[in-house]
Amino acid sequence: MQPIHVIGGGLAGTEATWQIAQAGVPVILHEMRPHKQSPAHHSEHLAELVCSNSFGAQSSDRASGLLHEELRRLGSVVIGKADEHQVPAGGALAVDRGLFSRDLTDTLASHPLIELRRDEVHQIPDDGVVVLTTGPLTSEALSRDLQRFTGQAYMSFFDAASPIIVGESIDRDIAFMASRYDRGEAAYLNCPMNREQYLHFWQELCAAEQAELKEFERETAKFFEACLPIEEMARRGEDTMRYGPMKPVGLFDARLGHFKDPALKDKKPYAVVQLRQEDKQGNLWNMVGFQTNLRWGEQKRVFRLIPGLENAEFVRMGVMHRNTFINSPELLGATLQFHQRPTLLAAGQLVGTEGYTAATAGGWLAGTNAARVALGQAPLTLPVNTMMGALIDFISSAEPKHFQPMPPNFGIIPALPAKIRNKRERYGHYRDRSLDDLTTWANNHKLELRSPSLVAT
């Protein structure tokens, strides 16, 4: 049988390669390190953790913990080795990064069906089944070829993203739905500010602490000129934001009366923060124009000063960094196959799932499906009520115009039939439904699941 080619031995590529080999299909894993290093990697090992050594919270009623558990039950080699090389980290699944990556490298290298090839791939191979997992720092030559294959408009090289907030955590007594000048359907949630609130917010934003930029991010900062961080805009003058993303004109709270009523003049907001719907269900809201380089803790502190966002629950913080990713909603199906070539699959940060565990999840599905394609079997789609399924569903069906990478979170999972106010209780119900659905799905597809090992805190 022709071997499958997996390109990129990071988190997604390592998991994909293992799943292919475990399905009995020969596989060649291409990794450019150590001959060529990315600007963030330092070692020659597979699945190197480029920054933090943590896979996120472990408790199974947290989004990352649920994803760990789903992957564990599905026989993920990455999560299996993370469990083996765990180090104490409060409630998080953190690992000894050296032991973890070395063990994964040895494990893959000693599998009889895996060939580990240390080379940089410049072009997508024309023939056979191929899985692309080259991550946020895909080498230049392959990025160019991907651009050729997908069309220029479907590639992003920088991530200038605003924070995303869970809709349920926004105070709807303060925030109001409206579109500017009442044009079309009321599509935005608007958080109004009076002058005093605005000035306090402006001062805090100017003084907030920035994240330190990496050398390669500093080099690429010039690309962001057309897309200024909100704190930089604030520093340019007291009113700059009020002429930019916080422009108050044409926005009226219909609950206060008709906008042409002269009595409403005094109630006009001095500034407005707009939130745009991020997902089909309206569970997630994106702060329009709030791309930022502030430290994550500072973002939470300062953005919670905005009226209506006092208790905001953030699922993704604002970022501005180098990040190669494709416009997956246009290009990929929920099986992680490209529409234009079903024998080409992709996973990891390259397709817009964010973080180590999410990359592993995509790697599991892309590897499993690549093997199924090679064996002439129908590829699988994950149940959407699982965290893995919800993530893949999001990246393959989000609104393509505003597509940004997404980490695991409960905002992307379909709502429960009944509303549960208590957050921990609600997340517990999501977990139970997810794991039940995973079991049913696995049984239907005759997949073997490992024993449960729920972590609760």
Produce one character per residue of 368-383: b if its CB has 16 or more CB atoms within 10 Å, e if not: bbbbbbbeeeebbbbb
C-alpha torsion 295→297→301→307, nearest 10: 80
CB 246 within 8 A of CB 239: no
Total number of residues that touch ligand FAD (CB under 6 A): 34
Stretch that binds ligand FAD, among 10-18, 180-188, 222-230, 254-262 (CB under 6 A): 10-18
Using CB under 6 A as the binding rule, the residues of this chain from 155 to 214 that contact ligand FAD are 214
Q: Among residues 28 and 241, whose Cβ is nearest to ligand FAD?
A: 28
Rounded alpha-carbon distances, angstroms, from residue 141 to 8, 50, 455: 13, 21, 43
Q: Give the shortest CB-105-to-ligand FAD separation in angstroms.
A: 11
Query: Residue 125 or residue 414: which is nearer to ligand FAD going by CB?
Result: 125
**Structural tokens at position 320:** 């501005």
Q: What is the CA radius of gyration of the chain?
A: 23
Q: Binding marks (x or -) toward ligand FAD, 98..127, rule CB under 6 A? A: ----------------------xx------
- Asked whether position 12 contacts ligand FAD by CB under 6 A, the answer is yes
CB contact at 8 A, 28 and 5: yes
Of these, 76, 133, 162, 369, which contacts ligand FAD (CB under 6 A)?
Answer: 133
Using Cβ positions, the residue closest to ligand FAD within the complex turns out to be 10
Instruction: Give the strand pairing for 155-161 and 164-166.
Output: unpaired
Q: How far is the CB of 421 from ligand FAD (least distance, A)?
A: 30
The dihedral over CA atoms of 222, 226, 231, 232, expressed in degrees to the nearest 10, equals: 60
Under rule CB under 6 A, residue 289 binds ligand FAD: no
Q: With binding defined as CB under 6 A, does residue 349 bind ligand FAD?
A: yes
Q: Counting contacts by CB under 6 A, is residue 367 touching ligand FAD? A: no
Q: How far is the CB of 51 from ligand FAD (least distance, A)?
A: 3
**In the bound complex, what is the minimum distance in angstroms from residue 8's beta carbon to ligand FAD?**
3
Write out the binding residues for ligand FAD, residues 13-42 only, by CB under 6 A.
13, 30-33, 38, 40-41
Identify the bridge partners of residue 54 per DSSP, sorted by sequence position. Answer: 94
Q: Quick one: 10 or 411, whose CB is closer to ligand FAD?
A: 10
C-beta of 83 vs 168, nearer to ligand FAD:
83
324 is an interface residue for ligand FAD by CB under 6 A:
no
Of 94 and 205, which CB lies nearer to ligand FAD in the complex structure? Answer: 94
The H or E element that residue 371 is part of is: helix 356-374
How far apart are alpha carbons 251 and 267 in whole angstroms?
11
Q: Is the peptide bond before 329 cis (omega within 30 degrees of 0)?
A: no
Which two three-digit tokens encode residue 221? 């900062």
Tell me which of 17, 58, 139, 396 binds ligand FAD, using CB under 6 A. Answer: 139
Q: Verify binding: residue 229, ligand FAD, rule CB under 6 A.
A: no
Confirm if 329 and 397 have CB atoms less than 8 A apart. yes
Q: Does residue 92 belong to the site contacting ligand FAD (CB under 6 A)? A: no
Other CB atoms within a 10 A radius of the CB of residue 126 amount to 8
Q: Given candidates 3, 192, 308, 348, which one binds ligand FAD under the rule CB under 6 A?
A: 348
Q: Name every residue whose Cβ is closer than 8 Å to that of residue 267 and which is 6 or more positions away in sequence.
A: 253, 256
Contact 365, 347 (CB under 8 A): yes
Find the shortest distance in angstroms from Cβ 434 to ligand FAD: 20
Phi, psi of 54, rounded to the nearest 5 degrees = -110, 140
The least CB distance from residue 30 to ligand FAD, in Å, is: 5
Tokens standing for residue 196: 């005093």
Contact between residue 378 and residue 367 where contact means Cβ atoms under 8 Å apart = no
Given 356, 394, 403, 430, the residue binding ligand FAD (CB under 6 A): 356
Segment 50 to 89, residues that bind ligand FAD, using CB under 6 A? 50-52
Joined together, the tokens standing for residue 166 give 């869970």
A 10 A CB-CB count for 343 gives 16
Residue number with CB closer to ligand FAD (159 or 393):
159
> Given the rule CB under 6 A, which residues bind ligand FAD?
7-13, 30-33, 38, 40-41, 50-52, 120-121, 133-139, 142, 214, 348-350, 355-356, 359
